[in-house]
Amino acid sequence: MLNLDSEYLAEEHRLFREQLRKYIASEIAPEASAWEEAGIIPPHVYERMGELGFLGLGVPAEYGGAELDALGTVVFGEELGRSGFGGLAASISDHADMALPVIVRSGTPEQKSRFIPDIAAGKRVMGFAVTEPGGGSDLTNLKSTAVRDGDDWILNGQKTFITNAISADVFITIARTDPNGKGAKGYSIFVVEKGGKGFSVGAKFEKTGWCSSDMSELFFDDFRVPAANLIGEEGRGFYGLMRGLERERLALCSQCIGMMERSIEITLEHVKTRPAYGKTLWDLQSIRHEIASHVSEISAAKLLIYHAAAKKSRGFDVRMETSMMKATVPQTMKRVVDSCVQMHGASGYMRGTEIERIWRDTRPFSLGGGAASVMLDEVAKLL
């Protein structure tokens, strides 16, 4: 399959890929099936990944980070996806690619010193608590509120479909702080630390895929958040979250690439050894052409992602590219992986096989980070 490392990656990126791939093969692969059964990733995984420097890619060195650019995010996503465990990729990415960067981008020096070192080290797990029952992709329709009371904000509301809701102890969340605000105006971002009166976690959701990634609801009932935990400018939280969408979409789409490439590897192994009509499935031209077509689609998607990451690393606006990616790459993955399952026949539909798990794990990627229809509208606005 298309290898873009020599054209796009520096030596530090290639070394990072090598280290991460070795770690996943030796420490993740042997245990991850048990995490699927348990429905949660144990804390020692975050601690180990933090120890190895994998959780603070975009974090300044003074806070314990690796200071890698957007291409580092792509490598990270690809290798998490290549693991074949979408739930692992979702939980780790939620911590490292969605929640932590909000503090890195918008936190004060005091907030960065207080939160980032332990989070980048994996000693504290993060969640990104934004989605609400009536909100979905429309982040201008959130109902949670926060009212200032002395040295605290009093937070009320409900968040749902929150990845790491059970395992995390620190969350990025957003609530309306200006009751007169309209549309995107009047929201503020907070770092919420789990526990205390007025904070509760709902029952764990049972999902079709991403089984090792715990998901639940969060409830805030007159929950007090210290004023010192307000991140960024009061009333401009919506715009603060928007600044992180490019990285989030790069991470998600890179995971799709890793999962597609792993699916093709598995499928090639199968069709080249599976007897059919006196030969193997691979000897059938229709099978070869279908796989070749998929590899071409994956390569085109990969080129768009690497191009966007390279531009972002140089400081360019990549809203167009990342919206295109998010609208198309997960859709491509669904089609490619479904075809791979078909080529496995009945064995591809059996629980416990890698291709079946990947197939189940593909569906959420077109839901999180913005639905395809919303992304296409974003592209249209930029034309």
Residues annotated catalytic, as ranges: 248
- Are 296 and 260 a contacting pair, CB within 8 Å? no
Specify the 3-state DSSP secondary structure of 261.
helix
Given the structure tokens 């329709």, which residue do they identify? 141
Residue 68 and residue 3: Cα distance in Å, rounded?
20
Six-digit token pair at 374? 């919303």
Strand partners, 188: 175
Cα–Cα separations (whole angstroms), residue 218 to 180, 215, 307, 311: 25, 10, 37, 37
| Secondary element (H or E) of residue 191 | strand 187-193
Amino acid in position 14: R
- Phi, psi (degrees; rounded to nearest 5) at 4: -105, 5
> Are the beta carbons of 173 and 144 closer than 8 angstroms?
yes
DSSP summary character for residue 25: I
- Report CA torsion sign: 21, 23, 25, 28: negative
Q: Which of 14, 31, 15, 9 is nearest to 83 (CA)?
A: 31
Going by C-alpha positions, the residue among 339, 379, 369, 373 that lies closest to residue 355 is 339
Do 96 and 125 touch, CB atoms closer than 8 A?
no
| Side-chain-side CA neighbours of residue 383 (13 Å) | 8
